[in-house]
Amino acid sequence: MILKGYHGTSHDSAEKIVAEGFKIPDHLGWLGCGIYFFYTYAKIADGKKNALFWARQVTKTGDPVVLSASIESDRYIDLLENEDHRRLFDRVYASMTDRQKELHGMDAVLDIKVAFQALAEEEIDFIRCPIDANPRRAYYNYVIRQYQVQICVKKPSCISSIRIEEGASTWTTGQ
Amino acid sequence: MDYGTIILEGLIEKIQKYTPADFDRLIAKANSVVDSDDTFMTSNFSTQGRIEYTFSNVTHDPISYEKLPEGPTSMTPDALVKISLDCTGAGLSCEDGAYNATGILAA
Ordered by start, the domain boundaries in chain A are: 2-81+123-166
Provide CB contacts within 8 A for A78, sequence distance 6+. A1, A85, A127, A128, B4
- Give the pLDDT score at B92: 36
Mean pLDDT to the nearest integer, A105-117: 82
B40/B50 same-domain check: yes
Distance CA B16, CA B9 (A): 12
| A24 against A72, higher pLDDT | A72
pLDDT digits (tens, 9 = 90+) for B46-90: 444 444 444 443 333 333 333 333 333 333 333 344 444 443 333
A33: left (phi over 0), alpha (psi -120 to 50) or beta: beta
Amino acid type, A168: A
- Give the pLDDT score at A142: 77
CB nearest to B8's CB, from A57, A74, A92: A92
- Give the pLDDT score at A2: 97
- Give the pLDDT score at A170: 65
Structural domains counted in chain B: 2
Residues of chain B contacting residue A96, judged by C-beta atoms under 8 Å apart: 15, 18
Query: Per the confidence metrics, is the pTM higher than 0.80?
Result: no
With 60 as the cut, is the pLDDT of residue B104 above it?
A: no
- Give the pLDDT score at A71: 98
> Å from A1 to nearest chain B CA?
12
A78 band by pLDDT with thresholds 50, 70 and 90: very high
Assigned fold of A2-81+123-166: Phosphoenolpyruvate Carboxykinase; domain 3 (3.90.228)
- Give the pLDDT score at A6: 96
B8/B29 same-domain check: yes
> Å from A63 to nearest chain B CA?
19
Residues of chain B contacting residue A75, judged by C-beta atoms under 8 Å apart: 3-4, 7
- B37, A134 contact by CB (below 8 A): yes
B40/B64 same-domain check: yes
Domain that holds residue B1: 1-33
B45 band by pLDDT with thresholds 50, 70 and 90: very low
